[in-house]
Amino acid sequence: MKKIIVVGSLNMDIVLKVPHIPAPGETILATNVSLAAGGKGANQAVGIGKLGGNVCMLGRLGQDPYGQELYDSLEKNKVNTEGIVFDDDLPTGNAYICVSDKGENSIVVNPGANSALDPEQIKKYEWLFNEASYCLIQLEIPKDTVEYVLQICQEKKVKVIFNPAPAKPLKDELLKDLFLLVPNENEISILCSGSATLEEKAKELLDKNVQNIIVTLGERGCMLANKEGIQYFPAAPFEAVDTTGAGDSFIAGLAVALAEDNNLETAIKFASYVAGLTITKVGAQPSLPDRKTVNCYINI
C-alpha cells in the first residue's frame, strides 16, 4: 500500500451545541458541551487510518492529558506516530466549535503546540518522507513549515494534496506544480481576490500551475478543475447532524483512493461517501467512518 504522510495540527475540540451560530455582539446559551479529538491534520490522518491506508503523521502536542488523548487516538486508528513530538512548554491546541441545530459550524482555534511545529522538526524527521507517495498539508501550522514541507516534497517527488484551511493568501511559488489543491468556497475566495466566478477562480489557479483543484461545495458536492476541463460531482445523500470534519474526511477518502491507484473521478466519488457518513454524527474524529461502513454504501 502506498505511503501517505500528513503534516498538520492536532486539537482537542470543545464542541458547543447551540440553536444557531451567534452573530457578532450576540450572546446565546449552549444546550450541550462535549470534547472530541480533532485538528485538521489529525482528522485527515485518522480518517486515512480508519479507511485502511498506510499513514504517518508529523505534528506537535502539549505534555498534558489532551495531548495524550490525541496521541492515543492516532495510535488506536493505526497512524504511525514516529513524527509526533510533545512540546516542553506549550499546551495542546484547542478548537472552540459551535454546532447549530442545522449542523452548521463556526470554529476558533487556539493553536498552542501546533505553532511550534517548525522546519527544524520537519528536518529531524525528513526520513519519514522517504517512499511516501502523497503528502497532505493544511494551514493550521506555521507558514514557513508549510513552505519547507512543500520544498521537501518537490525534492523527493512526493505528490502534495494541499488543503488551504484556514485560508490565507498564498505566494504563487507555493502553488506551482502542486498536484492537488482542495479549498472550500470561502477558501478559494481568499486565494483568488475579486468578483470572479468559481470556475474563473479555479482557472486562475490552474494558470499558476496547480495541476488539479477540487472545490468542496458542501451539500452541492464538489467541482474538479484541471487541464481536461471542469466537472461537477454530487454530494452523497446523507442528512447533516454536524458538518465538523467533513472536509478533512473528504480529503482522507481522496488520498486513500488515489493511493490505491484510482483516478481522480473515482476518488471523488469514494471521498463524497466518506464525507457524507462523517456529517451524520457529532464530533470530528468520533464521526470518521471505517472502510467496512463506507463499503456498505459504495464499492470501488
Catalytic residues: 248
Q: How far is the CB of 41 from ligand RIB (least distance, A)?
A: 8
C-alpha to C-alpha distance for 288 and 7, rounded to whole angstroms:
19
User: Binding string, 80-99, against ligand RIB, x = CB under 6 A?
Assistant: ---------------x----
In DSSP terms, 95 is beta-bridged to: 13, 109
Contact 288, 249 (CB under 8 A): yes
Q: How far is the CB of 173 from ligand RIB (least distance, A)?
A: 26
Among 284, 288, 289, 294, which residue interacts with ligand RIB (rule: CB under 6 A)? 284
Kindly tell me which of 40 and 201 has the beta carbon lying closer to ligand RIB. Answer: 40
Among 4, 5, 7, 13, which residue interacts with ligand RIB (rule: CB under 6 A)? 13
* Residue 284, C-alpha cell as written in the block: 470530528
C-alpha to C-alpha distance for 185 and 223, rounded to whole angstroms:
10
**Is residue 107 close enough to count as binding ligand RIB by CB under 6 A?**
yes
Kindly tell me which of 11 and 77 has the beta carbon lying closer to ligand RIB. Answer: 11
**Is residue 38 close enough to count as binding ligand RIB by CB under 6 A?**
yes
Kindly tell me which of 87 and 248 has the beta carbon lying closer to ligand RIB. Answer: 248
Site for ligand RIB in 112-141 (CB under 6 A): 140
Q: How far is CA 237 from CA 178, 198, 219, 271, in A?
A: 31, 23, 9, 13
Whose CA is closest to 92, among 73, 105, 76, 106? 73
Q: Which residues contact 194 (CB under 8 A, 6 or more apart)?
A: none
Q: Which residues contact 263 (CB under 8 A, 6 or more apart)?
A: none
Among 3, 9, 112, 215, which residue interacts with ligand RIB (rule: CB under 6 A)? 9
Kindly tell me which of 51 and 109 has the beta carbon lying closer to ligand RIB. Answer: 109
C-alpha to C-alpha distance for 168 and 139, rounded to whole angstroms:
8
Chain contacts with ligand RIB (rule: CB under 6 A): 9, 11, 13, 38-40, 43, 95, 107, 109, 140, 244-245, 247-248, 284
